[in-house]
Structure 1
Amino acid sequence: MTEATAQSIDRPRTSLLHSKYPQSEYVRGRRMASIFITLLLINAFSQIDRILPFILAESIKTDMGLSDTQIGLLTGLAFAVCYSLLSLPLAQASDRGSPRFVLVSCILLWSAMTALGGFAASFLLLAFTRFGVAFGEAGAVPAGHALIARKIRPERRGLAIGLFAMGIPLGTMVGFAAGGAIGDTLGWRTTLIGAGAIGGLIALLAFVVPGPTPTLARTAANSEPFLRSSRRLLASPAFGWLFIGAIFLGFAAAPFYAFSAPFLIRTHGFSASEVGLAFGLLQGLMGITGTLLGGRWFDRAVSSGTGRVLGPPAILFLIASVTTSAALFAPAGWLSIALLVPGMLSFSFLLPWAFGSAHLVAGEGKQAQASSLLMIGSGLLGPALGPLIVGIVSDAVTASQGPNGLGFGLLVVPIASVLTGIALLIANRRIAALL
């Protein structure tokens, strides 16, 4: 690799504050607000359709005579692998074509597949529909971020990414609450069909509200083969450390959400409803607060001109590692829950910082690609191996007659949080050196 090539990898092609996108494409005022709301709804319904099988799992299992293994295949690793890997080609289509077209197509696909799941008469057909949902949802984040880059002026992109990300906690709360209530009243099949039908309306909004998004002019920078471009981006020290941070994030977040409720029930004697109410409300509140606060703070960090755009989330992860460790051995249940709150906040707070920084490093016309690579980093190894490591450690401690086996297993979370914070601090210095 030549020195010039290396410099082209490490240096952003254009500052976020001096975008090369046509200024006439940027929207303001009510039009910008309507795009914000539309993006929020898109991500919220993406999350709802993704998690409905979680809350409906028992009804599906009983009605179709499925095993826990089959339920796990529907909701676990297979979905994560499909979702993560398919995001890259959909990101390519978003960067090089019309992100609005990709986004609308993805919404229609995952909504149709969600509704079709309500008609499934066998495990194979139901599994096929879940793969279809994963296929469609894999393009939501990359296409949404590419649309933000085309339509939102640079000084508001952090807020836009934060509002888009806020759909995750909102969708989670609505999905669990409304999905469970409707499922108990009308059945799981009607719930899936209804969710799919609403998705069709969301697709209409996604088509009408943003307006046309012309494709970018072909240049040497955006004409490079996508896989080669991805390898070059990962070879950049700044983006490489961001990617490493995303991997560690997966190892922190996946076990945290998989085992926090069982830990509180098993160790502190809470009921499932008590944990669901307290943990669910706090997680929703921290998700909304983190994404909004993180988005606005990121915009200000970029506007400051220092180039240090990852310090605050890195520090929060280091703090969360301490409080989460304390939560696992706290003597009282209420104290344990309170000490888990910084961890909840850190995961949502990071989203606009991580994606925004990735876009800054990747340069114009590669925002969807950068988002897709971070999704792959956080969505594969951590969710696949993190909960498994927790389970192995917990079983080993319990088998040796040790107390609080799950608490020891969950130490994976603060360890991974420390490593995430360190990776972000290194990436912070690397990015600052580019600007």
Structure 2
Amino acid sequence: MTTGVARSFWRPTLSSTTALVIVSLPTFLLGAFGPTVKSELGISDTQLGALFTFGFLVSATVMQISGGWADRRGPRFVLRSALIVGTVGSLLFATVAVSFAVALVAMAVVRTAEAIGQPATNTLISQAIAPERRGFAMGLKQSAIPVSTAVAGLAVPILGSTIGWHGAFSLVAILAVPAWLVVPDVAAPNPLARPARRQLWSQPHLRFAALGASMMAASVVTVSGFLAVAAVDAGYTEASAGLLLTLGGTIMIPGRIGWGMVADRFDFNRFRAVATSFAIGTTGFLLLASTGTVAIVVGTVLLYGLAWTWPGLLLLGVVEQHADEPGAATAILQTGVRLGATGSPLLFGFLADRYGFSSAWFFPLTTALIGVALMLRAAHEIARGR
């Protein structure tokens, strides 16, 4: 067991990244294969949105309970548990998800895995990586989300005509095995701690950051869930719409890693940087609303390249403020993210069904602006030492 800072930078970083890809990928696969899933299951945009909404609700609920587990039990045990649960959920999608009801059950299982695993990866980075390289590690780890987006997008043209979306979920279950084997053994940071969610929530910077992240997530989550469907509606083929997700995920990777490297080199208010980057990037919603084929590409670049590069930087800011309880503190933040994302896909799907995508994109733009204001308030509280 590693105590203190691990000698290896790459094993804990790549292990946390790989685990996060495995537990996150099923949700992104469902979005990428959205048009096919809708057709095979006979569901509407509203029901597809309901699947994502239900998943975020499950994730938010479970994370409230499991957020501090890695701080007490150690990240290895918790991450391995998450991978086992995620494998079960992926196999459910692969084998028996032939109706909306069964898809809801499978979604609940995969999002439970994600809720257990996410805080544990933050604890692993906090415990195993030296502070001067923690930003880089967090950026790499949070690149698991855009990697999942890119892989999901590529799965449509590569696997869609061969093994299909059911087969794609089978591959995720298979890949969980090596990910389980390489999780390092790292000491728990606070094995005697008891849940302290109320005390953490009472701190102004964390409270406003969680609320801001909630609204920001409500905004950008609509992109991962509906970009492919909206692109097909605007005239793209299903394969080219999937490649849009790949483009977005690929752009996010250097953005997230870059923020981490900058954070390691310079001392600045992490929360203010998050708000600024997000504000600039969300102008992409205006381009998506135009429904032009070129405008959709540019909007995708802005949203994925700027508006969605903030999670690693924000998590780093929280870990720096809460070194004794990194899992519990980041769980507060990430629970806010999931609560914000809970109703957003359902409402967006309803708006798209009723008014079309051109009008629906103004909903995430509005929530984005609210999120920026709240995150700037969190930055102000940090500057005041609160």
TM-score, normalised on structure 1? 0.77
- Picking from 77, 83, 93, the partner of 2:69 is 93
- Distance change >3 Å, CA 71–CA 110, structure 1 → 2: farther
CA-CA distance at 1:213 after TM superposition: 2.2
Instruction: Please tell me whether residue 380 in structure 1 is matched to residue 335 in structure 2.
Output: no
The amino acid of 2:74's aligned partner reads S
**Aligned match of 1:166:** 143
Q: Calculate the aligned-residue CA RMSD, in Å.
A: 3.2
- Which deviations, in whole Å up to 9, do the C-alpha atoms of 1:384-420 show, x marking residues without a partner? 136515743883xx5xxxxxx5333312233222222
**Aligned match of 1:413:** 364
Alignment of 1:302-381 (within 5 A): 304=267, 308-325=269-286, 328-329=289-290, 333-361=293-321, 363-381=322-340
- Picking from 192, 198, 205, the partner of 1:238 is 205
CA-CA distance at 1:72 after TM superposition: 3.5
Alignment of 1:17-416 (within 5 A): 25-28=4-7, 31-55=8-32, 66-68=41-43, 72=48, 75-120=51-96, 123=99, 127-178=104-155, 181-182=158-159, 184-206=161-183, 210-214=184-188, 216=190, 218=192, 222-223=193-194, 226=195, 229-266=196-233, 269-277=235-243, 279-301=244-266, 304=267, 308-325=269-286, 328-329=289-290, 333-361=293-321, 363-385=322-344, 388=347, 391-392=350-351, 395=354, 406-416=357-367
Retained in 1: the 8 A contact 2:227–2:241? no
Query: Distance between the aligned counterparts of 1:175 and 1:205, measured in 2?
Result: 23
Retained in 1: the 8 A contact 2:127–2:186? no
Where in structure 1 are there 5+ consecutive unaligned residues?
Answer: 1-21, 399-404
CA-CA distance at 1:288 after TM superposition: 0.5
> How many residues matched?
384
Retained in 2: the 8 A contact 1:90–1:102? no
CA-CA distance at 1:38 after TM superposition: 1.8
Retained in 1: the 8 A contact 2:55–2:107? yes
Instruction: Please state whether the residue corresponding to 1:211 is helix, strand or coil.
Output: coil
- Which deviations, in whole Å up to 9, do the C-alpha atoms of 1:282-315 show, x marking residues without a partner? 30222102210121222334xx2x5x22222222
Query: Distance between the aligned counterparts of 1:189 and 1:137, measured in 2?
Result: 20
CA-CA distance at 1:145 after TM superposition: 0.4
Instruction: Please state whether the residue corresponding to 1:365 is helix, strand or coil.
Output: coil
Larger Cα Rg: Structure 1 or Structure 2? 1
Instruction: Please state whether the residue corresponding to 2:29 is helix, strand or coil.
Output: helix
The amino acid of 1:370's aligned partner reads A
- More deviation, 114-123/168-177: 114-123
Query: Distance between the aligned counterparts of 2:226 and 2:38, measured in 1?
Result: 22
**Aligned match of 1:18:** none
- Picking from 419, 423, 427, the partner of 2:378 is 427
Query: Distance between the aligned counterparts of 2:176 and 2:335, measured in 1?
Result: 25
The amino acid of 1:101's aligned partner reads F
Query: Distance between the aligned counterparts of 1:327 and 1:71, measured in 2?
Result: 22
TM-score, normalised on structure 2? 0.86
Instruction: Please state whether the residue corresponding to 2:323 is helix, strand or coil.
Output: coil
Retained in 2: the 8 A contact 1:96–1:365? no
- Which deviations, in whole Å up to 9, do the C-alpha atoms of 1:192-212 show, x marking residues without a partner? 334212212210111xxx234
- Which deviations, in whole Å up to 9, do the C-alpha atoms of 1:250-272 show, x marking residues without a partner? 221123344444555545x4444
**Aligned match of 1:11:** none
Asked which structure has the greater RCO (Cα within 8 Å, sep 6+), the reply is 2
Instruction: Please state whether the residue corresponding to 2:185 is helix, strand or coil.
Output: coil
Query: Distance between the aligned counterparts of 2:238 and 2:20, measured in 1?
Result: 27
- Distance change >3 Å, CA 407–CA 394, structure 1 → 2: farther
